[in-house]
Every structure is written in structure tokens, then in C-alpha cells.
Amino acid sequence: MKAGFDISPELFDAAAKEDKNAEKIRRPSIRYWPDVWRRLKMNKLAMTGLLLICILGVMSFVGTKLNGFTYFEQNYSLINSHPDSVHWFGTDELGRDLFTRTWFGVRYSLFIGIMAAFIDFFIGVLYGGIAGISGRRIDSVMMRIAEVIYSIPYLLVVILISVVFSQAGQGSSMFVLIFSLSLTSWVPMAILVRGQVLQLKESEYSLASESLGADKGWILKKHIIPNTLGPILVNVTLEIPRAIFAEATLGFIGLGLQAPKSSLGTLANSGLAGLPVGNSYQLFIPAIFISLIMFAFNVLGDGLRDALDPRLRK
């Protein structure tokens, strides 16, 4: 047995207890939400999405006031004017300023998307919660109904409602749009919430908590909410672009927001007419904004899902 140094006998004395650190926790234990946030921050794409949403959100209020035009003011001497230093995004066929109209469009599209997602969330939590805490019979009836509602094709319902509640050639009111957009799409949320509530009632970890003397409120706070909030958050984030997309499609087939208000979809729809006569900017500018919003929410939702997935924790 060799050692590359002089061994003095003292070295073979018993080691002092303080010298050992068997119980030292070597890495700080990572708490859930800060860790989720840390992993989200590492995801450059998701952060780009988040940043983009913030910018679009702020600009949808600031941008409408930047160049001094209003969204409804018509100027017949300046119709279909291409983007220049006065009208930064050009004007439409009625001479309205497209820069201002586009930012209004962003505002309405975001508003519609967020409201629709919020209503989904609200109904979903209510319906799923009731189904979950009610007895098995009521629960199964409620879930059957939800399944039927969900298998009704989404866009068809939206179109039908819009047709009924709007006058021909006029488009729909904001309320009708949001209402129709959230009519069937709350179901996944409800199923999610119901599943989690059932877990609250039966799961082993809440049972374990309970046997350790925790009360229901504690369990709700410590186990159920953290476990449910993640999937719900992802669901809401991905519901927003879905609603915005559906609204844009509606706008494009002539059922969008009532004039003179404009959503990005209705802007694109009227821009389509400008395409054959060389005014392609009227279509492509709103198109780019729709795509940006869709992109931002989709990558953020994906990033959130990855960040929340405990299996991906490193």
C-alpha cells in the first residue's frame, strides 16, 4: 500500500464528527414554480413568444394613438395609398389609416382570444368541479353531455351562431363572437378539472397528507392547486390562439367583427380584395400580425408544457 506523501501516525486518529457532512444537502432543493420559471427562461423560443405577446399587448394600446389617425376616419382623396411616411401601413379602400386599424385589430383579436379562453376556464372549472364533487351518477351524465358537446364540430357551431345573431353583410358583435367561440371549447378544461377533483377525493398523496393530519384546505393548497394549475395554464395559453384563429377565419369568410371595428381577420378579408389590383400590403400586413400572435402563443404554450412536465426536470 503506497501513498505519495509522508504518513504520520496522527492521520490514523479517528476523524472528528464535525468534519463529516453526511447530511449536508448538496444542491439546494428546487421549488416547483421558480424551477418552472427557470426552465421556461431557458427556452429561448418560449421567451421570444412571451416578449412578443407583451410587445403586441402594449402596442395594441399605444400603437393606435401613434400617428394621429382614427380607425374609422375616411379620407376619399387618399384611398389605397401604399405605406409611406404619413400612413405607415398605407390606407384601405375607404382611405382609412391601416396602421391604426391594424393595432385596433391586434387589440380586438387579443381581447377576443383572451376573453374566450377566460370563459372556457370559468365554465370549465365550474362544470368540471361540479361533476367531480357530485356523485358518480350525476358525474357520468354530465360527462356524457360534455362529450357530445365536444364532438360537435367547433367551427360549424361558431359559424351558425354568428349567422343567427348577426345581420347579413354586417358581421357580429364582440359579445356574440366571444360567446360562440367559447360555446363548445370549455369541454377539455372541464374534463381536466374533473379529473383533478376526483384525484383530490381519492389520490394517495392527499390520503397520505390527510393521514398526516393535513386538512382539506392544506391539501388543496399544497397538492391539488400546484398539480392542476400547470395543465390548466397550458390549456388556457393554447386556447387563446385557437380562438384568435377561429375568429380570423370567421372574419375571413365574412362573419367577423362588425364594421367599422376591425379584427385582424376582417382586415385580411377586406385586404383580399386589394390583392388582384396590386395592393397586397392590405392583406399581408394583417396576415403577418395574425401569424405573429399565433406563433407567440403557440410557442409560449409549448414552452410552458415542457417546463411544467416534471419528467423533464433535470
- Cβ neighbours of residue 167 under 8 Å, at least 6 residues apart? none
Rank residues 45 and 138 by Cβ distance to another protein and give the closer one: 45
Q: Give the distance, in angstroms, between the CA of residue 196 and the centroid of all CA atoms in the same chain.
A: 20
Query: CA–CA separation, 104 vs 102, rounded Å?
Result: 5
What is the smallest separation between the CB atom of 151 and another protein, expressed in angstroms?
5
Cα dihedral 257, 262, 263, 264 in deg (nearest 10): 140
What is the smallest separation between the CB atom of 8 and another protein, expressed in angstroms?
9
What is the smallest separation between the CB atom of 3 and another protein, expressed in angstroms?
6
Query: CA–CA separation, 72 vs 62, rounded Å?
Result: 17
What is the smallest separation between the CB atom of 70 and another protein, expressed in angstroms?
27
Rank residues 118 and 281 by Cβ distance to another protein and give the closer one: 281
Q: What count of other Cβ atoms lies within 10 Å of the Cβ of residue 90? A: 21
Rank residues 219 and 248 by Cβ distance to another protein and give the closer one: 248
Rank residues 5 and 76 by Cβ distance to another protein and give the closer one: 5
What is the smallest separation between the CB atom of 47 and another protein, expressed in angstroms?
15
Footprint of another protein on this chain (CB under 8 A)? Answer: 1-3, 5, 7, 9-15, 19-23, 26-27, 45, 144, 147-149, 151-157, 159-161, 163-164, 168-169, 245, 248-249, 252-255, 268, 272, 275, 280, 283-284, 287, 290-292, 294-295, 298-299, 302, 314
Rank residues 174 and 272 by Cβ distance to another protein and give the closer one: 272
Rg (Cα) of the chain, in Å, rounded?
28
Residue 89: DSSP 8-state: T
Query: CA–CA separation, 144 vs 148, rounded Å?
Result: 6
